[in-house]
Amino acid sequence: MLAAAVEAYVAVRRATGFTFGSEARQLASFAAFSEARTESHVRASLAIEWAALARSVSQRARRLGHVIRLARYLRAEDRDHEVPPAVFGAEKRSRPTPYILSPEQIGQLVLAASRSGYRTLRRDTYSTLFALLASTGLRASEAIHLRLDDITPDGLVIRCSKFRKSRLVPLHKTARAGLERYLQRRGAYAPAEPHVFVSLRRKPLLLHDVEVAFRTAARAVGLPDSPRARPTPHSLRHTFAVRALQACPDGRDAITRHMLALSTYLGHAKVADTYWYLEAVPELMTDIADRCERFVMGGRP
């Protein structure tokens, strides 16, 4: 039965570290669709028909991509499975160009958050959160899930983040001092709550709340607010990564070590996700072009 084959495939993917949540549900849907037509193998025509039920072309491409990978896996042991052609195009959309903030803009955002709304803990919460994101490169989701016992003398313990991997993020002494000041203020406000950052409801922050607070601060300092150029909380992480790359030392071996260390620090699943910044940010592309020119002209790269 195709459903049993899908379950086995999902188990293998999860055993190798993938969360595989929505993908598993999609493949279970495809298996049910196929078995309703008395088909126990992957058939290209049925896969295309099933994927075409999605509303948008990008969704169809993504659904069909799930089946293509399933079919390749199953076909290794059973040649009766068919690998569908990618008739809806590439399933991965190009990543948008990250919005990189200047040091002055980051300072303005933190200051705006410290003055936003009434004189409540909310000001301290978001100004400290944004400063922490800027100085550590954490994902916003990782920061709002931090618990008090995740703060250690060696840094912040990020537990089971995006790719179910834990890591230790060192803290600069200024970042630690800022975090300790915030904890002193929020301690009396929500003493029973184990999460570091709390809302006025004395509950952990929601990602939506963080996004709203960031937009409010960004608007207050005059940052752009359009679909093509709009900073988000994730822009603080992008900015951290770019500044770290700009500080990379010269030399092939040093660059390799620097990239690997940064990839590990950021919690990227693949080092290619870190290299993406090299082609996504004009400043880094300019640096690369300048070094290539020097190398061609006989100088040091």
Residues recognised as catalytic? 139, 162, 234, 237, 268, 277
Residue 163 to residue 9: CA distance in whole angstroms: 19
Q: In degrees, to the nearest 5, what angle opens at C-alpha 112 toward C-alphas 171 and 105? A: 65
Strand partners, 229: 226
Residue 277 to residue 264: CA distance in whole angstroms: 15
The 10 Å Cβ neighbour count of residue 111 is 15
Residue 184 to residue 109: CA distance in whole angstroms: 22
Residue 291 to residue 203: CA distance in whole angstroms: 50
Residue 289 to residue 9: CA distance in whole angstroms: 44
Question: Which residue, chain included where needed, has tokens 């179910």?
Answer: 164
Beta strands in the chain (DSSP E): 151-152, 155-158, 167-169
Residue 158 to residue 216: CA distance in whole angstroms: 27
